[in-house]
Amino acid sequence: MKSFLSCCDIYGGSNSRYEITVSDVTCLACVERIRKAISSLVGVSIYDFKADYKARTCTIYMISDKDISWEEVEKTLLKASESTPHNYKIISLKKGFSSHVGLYGLM
């Protein structure tokens, strides 16, 4: 994964923006586990996240140069849940829309 994204990375080429909200997130270790799993998908670059531990959710903001399916992410989250007391599931997956302000106000 890149350490930072430029405006060309976010807006250039055929990249699509995604916003994925995941359930059963209780701490920073959960967020890191989920980020690592989602980052392993081919073509994905995560640029931000927002965790709400009281609601037990985390929203991951990312771009991808290929289409990402619900099933693909769900399978990845299932693997990330293995050997943990968690059962990470997608609450929502939005493509191409985000009102989120990302790194350095680029989004």
Residue 26 falls within a domain, yes or no?
Answer: yes
CATH of the domain at 93: 3.30.70.100
> For residue 83, what are the domain limits?
7-97
For residue 98, name the pLDDT band (cuts at 50, 70, 90).
low
For residue 42, name the pLDDT band (cuts at 50, 70, 90).
confident
Residue 1 falls within a domain, yes or no?
Answer: no
The percentage of residues in the chain with a pLDDT greater than 70, rounded to a whole number, is: 77
Residue 103 falls within a domain, yes or no?
Answer: no
DSSP string, the chain: --S---HHHHHSTT-EEEEEEEE---SHHHHHHHHHHHHTSTTEEEEEEEEETTTTEEEEEEEESS---HHHHHHHHHHHHTTSS---EEEEEEES------GGG--
Give the mean pLDDT of 61-88: 94
Which comes out higher in pLDDT, residue 72 or 98?
72
- Residue bearing tokens 């359930």: 23
Residue 106 falls within a domain, yes or no?
Answer: no
- Residue bearing tokens 């807006």: 11
Residue 83 falls within a domain, yes or no?
Answer: yes
Our count of domains for the chain comes to 1
Residue 31 falls within a domain, yes or no?
Answer: yes
Q: What angle do CA 27, 33, 37 make, to 5 degrees?
A: 150
Q: What is the pTM of this model?
A: 0.78
Residue 53 falls within a domain, yes or no?
Answer: yes
Residue 105 falls within a domain, yes or no?
Answer: no
State yes or no: pLDDT of 93 exceeds 70.
yes
- CA dihedral sign, ordered 94, 97, 101, 105: positive
